[in-house]
Amino acid sequence: MMHLSARFFLLAAFPALWLMGCAAAPSDANDTAAKDAAGAGDGGNGAVQNPSPAPMAATGWLSIGGDGAVQTTFFDADGRYRDWRNGAQLASGNWAKRSDGRICFEPDAGLGDCWKIDPPDKNGEAIATDSEGKSIAIRQVTYIAPAEPAEPAAPDASPDDPADNPPAN
């Protein structure tokens, strides 16, 4: 798994981090521990060793960017995620919860990263921290399932096709 720049990942994965539900801002000691843990148990290459969608599956998370942009991430039960920014889809890909508790994202395009999520505070807000130590505040929102793919329309019958217009007897 490759690493995204902190800025892009923050924009693309704000909601995904909220699914974990975090609360207090990490202390310097926690930041150091998170940085030291980045790559622990994965041979240093970021590969997800223990993919496990639950309990993040079928949840949605939201954050507000420094520029006021609303970021929402939906974690689907099939291990896929969808990131939205101001109502437009920004990214999608695979997600997994590692055995160390971090949530890792592998986007369909671009580089991925793993996030540590702290427990939520009394107001339900959590802090998510990426592998570079950048933190964001997230909160859980209503999950919206992906749209069902539309079934292809049946081809129109052609009046010139004898199979569609058998001769009358």
Domain edges within the chain: 6-141
Percent of the chain with pLDDT over 70: 59
* pLDDT digits 0-9 by tens, 127-147: 999 999 999 999 999 999 999
Architecture of domain 6-141: Beta Barrel (2.40)
Residue 1 structure tokens:
């798994």
Look at 77 and 157; give whichever has higher pLDDT: 77
Question: What band does 126 get if pLDDT is binned at 50, 70 and 90?
Answer: very high
Phi-psi region of 56 (alpha: psi -120 to 50; beta: other; left: phi over 0): alpha
Distance set, CA 157 to CA 27, 152, 154, 165, 169 (Å): 68, 15, 9, 9, 21
Q: Are 51 and 42 in contact (CB under 8 A)?
A: no
Identify the helix (H) or strand (E) that includes residue 36.
helix 28-37
* pLDDT digits 0-9 by tens, 7-52: 444 444 444 444 333 333 333 433 333 333 333 334 344 444 444 4
The model's pTM: 0.59
Q: Are 117 and 130 in contact (CB under 8 A)?
A: no
How confident is the model at residue 6, as a pLDDT? 40
pLDDT over threshold 80, residue 123: yes
Average pLDDT over residues 107-112: 96
